[in-house]
Structure formats: structure tokens, C-alpha cells
Amino acid sequence: MTAAGLSAALASKEVSAAEVTQAHLDRIAAVDGRVHAFLHVAADSALEQAATIDHRRRAGEPLSPLAGVPVAVKDVFTTVGLPTTCGSRILEGWHPPYDATIVQRLKQAGAVILGKTNMDEFAMGSSTENSAYGPSRNPWDLDRIPGGSSGGSSAAVAAYEAPLAIGTDTGGSIRQPAAVCGIVGTKPTYGGSSRYGVVAFASSLDTPGPFGRTVLDAALLHEAMSGYDPMDSTSIDAPVPPVVAAAREADVSGMRIGVVTELSGEGYQSGVLSRFAEAVELLESLGAKVTEVSCPHFRYALPAYYLIAPSECSSNLARFDAMRYGLRAGDDGTRDAEEVMALTREQGFGAEVKRRIILGTYALSSGYYDAYYGKAQQVRTLIIRDFDAAFGQVDVLVSPSTPTTAFGIGERADDPMAMYLADLCTIPSDLAGNAAISVPCGLAPEDGLPVGLQVMAPALADDRMYRVAAAAEAAFTQRWSHPLLAEAKGL
Amino acid sequence: MTTETLVPFAEATERYEPVIGLETHVELGTRTKMFCGCTTTFGAEPNSQVCPVCLGLPGSLPVVNRNAIDYTIRIGLALNCEIASWCRFARKNYFYPDMPKNFQISQYDEPLCTDGYLDVEVSGKIVRAGIERVHLEEDTGKSLHVGGATGRIHGAEYSLVDYNRAGIPLVEIVTRPVPGTGADAPVVARAYVTELRDLVRSLGVSDVRMEEGSLRCDVNVSLAPRGSAVWGTRTETKNVNSLRSVQRAVEFEIERQAAVLDAGGRVKQETRHFHEENGTTTAGRSKEEAQDYRYFPEPDLVPVAPPIEWVAQIKAALPEAPSKVRARLRDEWNVSAPEMDAIVNAGALDLVLQTVAAGASPADARKWWLGELARRANEAGTELAALAITPAQVARVAELVEAGSLNDRLARDVIDAVLAGEGDPDEIVEARGLAVVSDEGALAAAVDEAIAANPEVVAKIRDGKTQAAGVLVGAVMKATRGKADAARVRELILQRLT
Amino acid sequence: MSITRDEVAHLARLSRIALSDAELDHLAPQLDQIITAVAQVQEVAAEGIPPTSHATGLTNVFRDDEPAPCLTPAEALGQAPAVEQQRFKVPRILGED
């Protein structure tokens, strides 16, 4: 059942929050042994929360739409009472003393937090294979990756373990997993959702966002979790764009849609390209005007990202030094603080994290800064200008969400460059800070695996892309005559 | 500790030209920290004023304290700086356990204030110290080093860290190198820090107490052979915790560096540690390479662009600079520069001003604070401000003397009593019955007695030696237990005898 | 070659990560490959293009100088590896005072 459906059923008291929560806990128990979406299932506290909601509803209290609806939370958000590991050994067992703002908002909305989901360590990766706790698996095919870094959240929703989930998107970590799992995932406008309590990977790129099985579900969660937060200096003080209303309108007639020339070609799986082309045709048949738009600097988005993100993360992850919390290794009384720090970080961090920290340290070093980090920030400006020029011609831009369908577990695990290519389509929006969504647009004929359509809108025009995504979804659902996920063979 | 060879100061400054520079950190007296709402009270229980932000917990984010920007602009304007129209914070990356994030949010190539100056007066000359920059950053936590002999880091077994101080706003003020001070270099350095301290204090933005760490100073010194156009290598000396230490540190470095250069060696560019006990400096831990802090703009904070109106408002509300106050008062009070220096050096200026504000004349206020009270402070080994008497009370005593109710002798008694905690001047006068005897009859009787008892003195006075009257005055004062008005007594004596 | 094994070792030390020789052997060539790839940004002509450090365009975000609730010492120290005298106990530090 969709979150929207559950919300209605709960509101009309057809079903209780306790029943809904229990049903999901049962589902988790049944399948998560194979999917491994969750790192921590908070059964007791979830049932408690559900009971409270039921009590308040019986008392006639007005409740928000998500009251009693279960949500899974990526383990990068701090949660009081639940562990927060960020998929890393260095934070194993860490219980933060404060809730992320978004977690607070979910609690205030009455959403029931089912647990914390698996992720690539510190949000670095596209497959969850970088998790210190083992990868999550794609419900479509358990030998394949569910995407990353928010792979756990995506798999949980795709496997019906949760109707909704939250994740973070820095280079594509919500949209790519959503695409390969056949669900909807949004990267809101940067600054549109609070980063307070989101363990930082790349501060100027990290964007918390929603997963849902439908566009409307994602929109409902988007609205509930987003908005200005005075605890986050980069938070935008403006109303949340009317994404739910837009998702309901789902009308693209007269809208100008731009296909980004640079986001296709070599490296893109043919089935992905063909499904994408069909999606574009579909949108045209719905009344949109489609043109091709060139964003010439998008070719440099990947290298720019892999300079900016590691640079910021090399600094953000310096705090993990064994002194105040987390793992402490090698403190046998003979070693000094620096040695203990170095041993702890050696043991506590995985290979990808180490690679990025070293890369970032390099890019920021005196003598290299201008040519690497500095240059990347200039490329970023050029990409923003490309977007600005493009949005001067069209209302939204479209592309595939990721060049291929879900690849096999182990296939790219030790080939960082190959892994990075998964972010090719999603990275430009992270660098520019505008909004982007991935919505399923079919299965690739060659492997029967989901393909995602990415829709990008200007910053603070998130509603625009929800409108287009919803229109596409409605048309596809009609064409397929069933939700895409019904075809998932994995479980 | 190695014993350094030194060249005596006078010799050193004859043959070498010192260039000095000062880097000062001022802890701002904002209610809350730079990036979070934790309070900043001095001396709180360890780790009782911390939150996710200043502890640098994963997921925490900084938000700039508006007052910290305001205070920094105040300091910048008072130092005649340009205020940036747009600037950013930057991360200074290095690992150290007292830094929760292992980076410090500071400012790098875009400081909030630049290009100012501070004039200091030394030996009658004005020395202008150029101010290169004034920027904002966050303070670190404090470590206790356990197990070593001295409580210092060397030889410690482990350390205990308190993060209460982490995140408190710090303003860093950096001078340009100051050449041409010659043998006055140590005094100029001290005068600069003193003037800076007084200026910052007058702005109300910090306590600026070196003993409490709200004013910290690093001293840079280099030497060049006299007449050389090329400046020498400079050293940076830390742990300079008092004004006197500033002076001594510069002196020692000049003597030490002169010896190195005399021997044909080269001064090492390094950070040195000042030792309070013996006024020397020793080399800090040598590093393999210079620190690369990998500065980059702080992505969690957005740029600061102080609106012109805000800066103008702050400028309009700046108080008169202490140096201007002193110059003005010198004129008003008609005192000389050395006299004014004496007042300032005794820490009496504020007290004198407050006493004047409470109703005393400037002359009286100065007389009491620099005379009797300074003596008392010296005896007690404390500062003037620490004496248990307020300017208002001093003003009242002066007023009573002015009105004739007290004479100087009695006034001193009253002051003693106030210091002893017996209450206000009026209470004491009442309780002890210390009013001047102004009853003419009683006075006349006492005068007659004294005259009768001292015939030889009387003869001298009649002879023309009127100074001898002092003896009779003394006798009357004794007889009245000091409560007579000495001038009136003298009048009466001379009336009778001449 | 964009980066040598020694340079990688040096960077690891700067980042306080005690890489083993085996790891160094494995990571160094990968990093070399990555750095070569990201160096592509240098192809872009960017004369006079300002760098973007903040995508939102926001400025002057401040908070009032008003106290807000903080953590109790127990909460602050609760997850610490070692505590003594209500402070974080850390191994001996070498270095400046």
C-alpha cells in the first residue's frame, strides 16, 4: 500500500498505526535477512510511537498526514536512542545525544521510525558495498546492488519493508538507488531540507530527501521533512515549494522539456537509452514541448565532483580521531595521541573513505589547491551557468537517472573509476544545487531491470519536476496496467 | 633547558636593528559562543557548557553569532581599519585533541578588517604600529597534562580535555612588522599591548585580562645588522602571559639573536616558548615541515557582507579612544604627560574619572587615589581597583573635607575605616564622632592651654619666628585627638601672639 | 604518473591514517588513476570565472547572542572512550603548548 493510501486508511481509522507498524515489522522479519536494508530495526520504539499515535487519534486530536505512517531512516541521520553508524566501524555503537532536525520533524508529524538503514560508509559510494556491515541487496535481483549510498533506504521501500524512507543525495545517492530499485527518489533543492544532524560527507552538496514507491508518496514526505532550519546556516528561508499539489496535478501540457545532449552516449546501456527515449516521447504525447539542450560543461561535472566532494570530506571526517566518541584503537598506554588517531582511522575507515580522504587532502594541499580544488570550483560555476542558460530555454531538463541498470554485487567493487560512473547523470544537479527527481520509466529489455527517468528543475522550483514526474508516472502506470514493482522477482 | 649565549641589551641594540611584530588574541565577551548558544561563563565545571556544535559532534553545524561580528567590527573601526564589504570564514585544518573538529573555523585570505593602525607613545615619541588584519575565529578547548613534572606537555602521561572554552569567539589582531624602534623595542611592544588592551576594554567587547586568558599575545622579533636593508629571520614567542613578559620576551630575543648573529650563525625561524620564571625563551618542538593548513572556504557558513548602515551605526557609537581621553584630560586637568602616565600606570584613571563623576574635583580625586590609596594598595600588595573602597566613597570623603567637616588627618582615619569594612564615610563619622571640632570656644580653650604650656615656643613666635607656631598647632591637635581644624588653630594662635 | 606511492604515504600521514604497506600498494595506483582523471578539470578554460563555494547565494545568516540549552556533562562525555575528572581522557600529546 502506498503511504498516501495508508495515510487515508489511518485517518479513517480503517486500520490502526499499531497494525500498520506491526505489518511492516513482520515484513522486515520475513525478508530483511536476504535484503539487508536495515542496520537496526527499532521494533519496540516503533510500536510505542504507533501506540501513541493511535491514542491521540482516538482522542480526536488533529494529526498530520504522515501520522502513523512508517518511515525508514538512513543511518547518516542522528537519532536519539537509536545507534548511528553511517555504515562505518568508526561509529559502531555510537548513540548520538541529539536528533537530526529532519528526524525531529518526522517525529512531530507522527511518522513511525522503523529503524536505520544501510548505506555506503559515510555516504561514499553507489552500491552499499562500501558499508562496513555488508551490502544491501536489490529486491529485483538479490545478487545485484540496490544503488548507493542510500541503498538501504531504497531497498527497504522497494521490498515493501517501509512505505517511505529518507536518504541523502550528494552525487546522486538518492536518485541512483531509486532508479535501480524501480522507485521514486528526490534530491530537493540544496538548502531546502535541513542538514543539521546529517553526518557530513560533502557539506556544500549533501541534500537530505525522500524515497517513495510513488511520486505522490515522495512528495508527501518531501513536504513533511523540508523547510527552513535556523540550526543550518545554509538552509533557505523560503516556503517549501508546493510539491504535493504539483504531484496531484500531474499535467505537463505546454511545458517545455529539454533533453540534455551530454547525458547520453558512450557508457550508457542501450536498454536505459531506449526506455529513456520512450519516456521522452510519452511526455511529448502528453502535451510537452521537447527540445534538445546542450550543457557543454556537464562533461566536467564528474571530475569536478571528485575533487570538491573528497576535499570537503577530508576535512569533515577529521573529527573521527578516537578522542571524544567512536572507535579507539591501539591505546595500550605506550602510544601517543597521534599514533592512536592514525591506528583508529586505519582500522575504522574502509578503502573508499580512505581513498577520498587522501584525494581531498591532496586537492587542498598548498601548491595543488589552485589546479585542483580551485579549478573544480570554477568548473562548478560554469555548470551553474549551463543550467541557468538551459532553464532560460526550458522549464525542466530530463536525462536517464544513471547510465546502467543495477550491476552485480562485486562487479565494480574494486574499480573506483567504474563505480564513479554511476553518478554521471546525477552529479550536475548536486554541484548546482537545483532540484532533481528519479521516477521509474520501465524495465530494460535486456535484463528486465528498472530504468529511471531523471527530471531536473531550477532551485526552489521542486514542484515543477514533481508535476512532470507525476504525469509520466500516471501515463506509464496506465500503459503497464500495474505498478512496476509488481514485476520485481527478487523476493 | 639549554643555556643560551646572550649579548647585553645595550650592545645588541647598538649593532642590530630589531623589528617587532605582535599577534594578539582577544576573547570576546559575548554571552554565547561563536557558532552555538552555549554560555561562555569563566570557571564553569568542565564540559558543562558544551553542545553538539562546539563539541563538533557528527552532524552538527555552526551558525554565526551576530554580536561577535558586531564586536569585531568595533575593534576594527577603533583600530582605523577598513571593514570588508564581503568576506568568508575558512577552515584551518590540523589535528589536535583540543580541537573537536580537527579544523578551526577561522578566516584566511578574507579577514573582516584590514589595513589599520594603532599609535603608541613611548619616550615622548609616537610609534605607529600598522595593523595588517583583524579576523574572527573560534577558540579551542583546554587540556590538563597529567603525569609530567611541570604540568606541561613534555613528559606527561596523558591529557584531560575540557571543551567549555571550545567555540568561544576569538579576535586575532596582527600588526605589520614594526621597524625603527631600536632600544625601545621591548617598551614599544609592551606599550602596544597595553594600549590595545585599554582600547579594547573601552569598547566593552572583552575583559581583556591576560591572567584569565582573554588577552593572549605572541611576540615576533627579528634582528638585522644596523644599516642593512634586509630584515632578519623572525622568531615567534608564545606563552607570554603578562605585560611585563611581553617586554622581557622581546628583550631576551634581541639578546639571544644578537649572540647567534655575532657568532656568524643564522637565526632559526621557529616558535619559542617564554619562561616566566627566568625571562628566557626556549625552542618549541621542531617540526619536519611547515604546517600546511589546507585552508578552504567554510562550506557550512555563508559569506558575511556587513551592510554599510550597520558599520556606520557601529562607528557612530564608538567611545572616545583612551589615548584621546588621556590627551583631553591632560589639558582639562592641566597635568603633565609624566603625571598622566603615572595616573594610568597606577591603574587609577578610571577610578579618578568615576570619583569625579561622583562629585569630587579632579585634583582631589587624583590626590586621594595617587596618594593615600596608592600607598595602601602597595602595602596590601593589591591593585587600586581591588581596594575595598569605591569612587563614590572617596568622593564623599573629599566632599566632607571640602566642607570643613573633616580635616586631612580625620579623612585618612575615615578611609582606613572604610577599607576595614566599617561602612560608608557618613556612617563612620557618626559612629566614631570624628567631626572636626569647630566650636570656637573649645578651640580657644585648647589654644590657650597650649600657649600656657609652651613659653619658650611662645617667645620665639613673638620674636618673629612664626613657623614655630606649628609646634603649638601640634599640641592642640594632640589635645583634641586630631579633630581640630589645623588651619583655624594656627590662625587663633597667631591672632593671640602677634 | 600523477602521484607516487611515496606521495600517497605522505598524504596518509597528513590525514592521520596509518596505512599498511599492503594497503599502500593497493591504493596508490588507484589514486594515481583517479587523480589523472580528475585533472581533466584543468582542460577547462576558466579565466576570470569566479569559483563557487556556496550554491545558495545566501549571505549574512546570523543568530542572536542568546543562550540555548546545551548538553549535560553526562551526555557530552557519555560516548567517550575514556573519562577522568569529568574531562575527556586522551593519550599523551606531543607538541606545542
| A318 secondary structure, DSSP code | G
**A389-439 pLDDT, tens per residue?**
999 999 999 999 999 999 999 999 889 999 999 999 999 999 999 999 999
What CATH superfamily is the domain A3-297+381-487? Answer: Amidase signature (AS) domain (3.90.1300.10)
**How far, rounded to the nearest angstrom, does the alpha carbon of residue B105 sit from its chain's CA centroid?**
29
Bridge partners (DSSP) of residue A209 are A167
pLDDT of residue A49: 97
Separation between Cα atoms, residue A228 and residue B122, nearest integer Å: 55
C-alpha cell of A258? 529539454
* pLDDT one-digit tens code per residue, A227-246: 999 999 999 999 999 999 99
ipTM of the complex: 0.96
Task: Answer whether C14 sits within 8 Å of A361, measured CB to CB.
Answer: yes
**Mutation for A interface: B98, B294, B301, B304, most A CBs within 10 A:** B294
pLDDT exceeds 90 at position B380: no
Whether the per-residue pLDDT at C97 is higher than 50: the answer is no
Q: Is A173 a catalytic residue?
A: yes
Task: Select from A170, A176, A400, A385 the least CA-distant residue to A296.
Answer: A385
Residue C39 domain-assigned?
yes
pLDDT tens for chain A, 491 residues long, are 899 999 999 999 999 999 999 999 999 999 999 999 999 999 999 999 999 999 999 999 999 999 999 999 999 999 999 999 999 999 999 999 999 999 999 999 999 999 999 999 999 999 999 999 999 999 999 999 999 999 999 999 999 999 999 999 999 999 999 999 999 999 999 999 999 999 999 999 999 999 999 999 999 999 999 999 999 999 999 999 999 999 999 899 999 999 999 999 888 999 999 999 999 999 999 999 999 999 999 999 999 999 999 999 999 999 999 999 999 999 998 999 999 999 999 999 999 999 999 999 999 999 999 999 999 999 999 999 999 999 999 999 999 999 999 999 999 988 999 999 999 999 999 999 999 999 999 999 999 999 999 999 999 999 999 999 999 999 999 988 777 877 777 77
Rounded CA separation B87/B82 (Å)? 12
Distance from CA of A22 to the nearest CA of C (A): 32
- pLDDT beyond 80 at B446: yes
What is the average pLDDT score of chain B?
91
- Alpha carbon of C16: minimum distance to chain B alpha carbons (Å): 8
From the list A314, A362, A374, the residue facing C35 with the nearest CB is A362
Reported confidence tier of residue B229, pLDDT bands at 50, 70, 90: confident
Contact A21, A70 (CB under 8 A): yes
Residue whose C-alpha cell reads 593589591 in the numeric block: B382
Sign of the dihedral defined by the CA atoms of residues B347, B353, B355, B361, in that order: positive
User: How high is the pLDDT of residue A217?
Assistant: 98
A402: left (phi over 0), alpha (psi -120 to 50) or beta: beta
| Rounded-to-integer distance, Cα B75 and Cα B72, Å | 5
Residue C80 domain flag? no
- Closest by CA position to A243, among listed A455, A441, A429: A455
Q: Which residue in chain A has the smallest CA separation from C73?
A: A97
Is the pLDDT score of B225 beyond 60?
yes
Q: What is the pLDDT of residues B111-150, one digit of tens each?
A: 999 999 999 989 889 999 999 999 999 999 999 999 877 7
Residue B3: pLDDT band (50, 70, 90) is low
Ordered structural domains, chain B, with CATH: 9-310 (no CATH), 320-432 (no CATH), 440-497 (1.10.10.410)
Set A127, A149, A314, A429: catalytic member = A149
Taking the Cβ of residue C22 and every Cβ of chain A, the question of whether any pair is shorter than 8 Å is answered with no
Q: Which single residue is written with the C-alpha cell 524512507? A: A165
The amino acid that residue B300 corresponds to is D
Q: What is the pLDDT of residue B378?
A: 87
Q: Within its chain, how far is the Cα of B464 from the centroid?
A: 54
Is A375 part of the annotated catalytic residue set? no
A83 lies within 8 A of chain C by CB: no
From the list C49, C52, C91, the residue facing A337 with the nearest CB is: C91
Q: How many domains does chain C have?
A: 1
Interface list for B 119-158 with C (CB within 8 A): 143-145, 147, 152-153, 156-158
**In the predicted structure, residue B288 carries a pLDDT above the cut 60:** no
Q: What is the mean pLDDT of residues C9-15?
A: 96
Beta bridge partners, B127, equal B120
| Residue of B59, B97, B294 with shortest CB distance to A196 | B59
pTM listed for this prediction: 0.90
The reply to whether B271 touches chain C by the CB within 8 Å rule is yes
* A195 closest CB neighbour out of B61, B159, B161: B61
Task: Flag whether C33 is in a domain.
Answer: yes
**Chain C residue numbers touching B144 (CB-CB < 8 A):** 85, 87
As a residue count, chain C comes to 97
B40 touches chain C (CB under 8 A): no
Chains near B (3 or more Cβ pairs under 8 Å): A, C
Is the residue at C30 inside a domain? yes
Pick from A233, A318, A341: CB nearest B103: A318
Domain that holds residue C28: 5-43
Chains B & C: contacts with CB separation below 8 Å: 143
Q: Which of A88, A127, A136, A173 is catalytic?
A: A173
Q: Is the pLDDT score of B224 beyond 90?
A: yes
10 Å Cβ neighbour count for B417? 20
- Quick check: is C97 in a domain? no
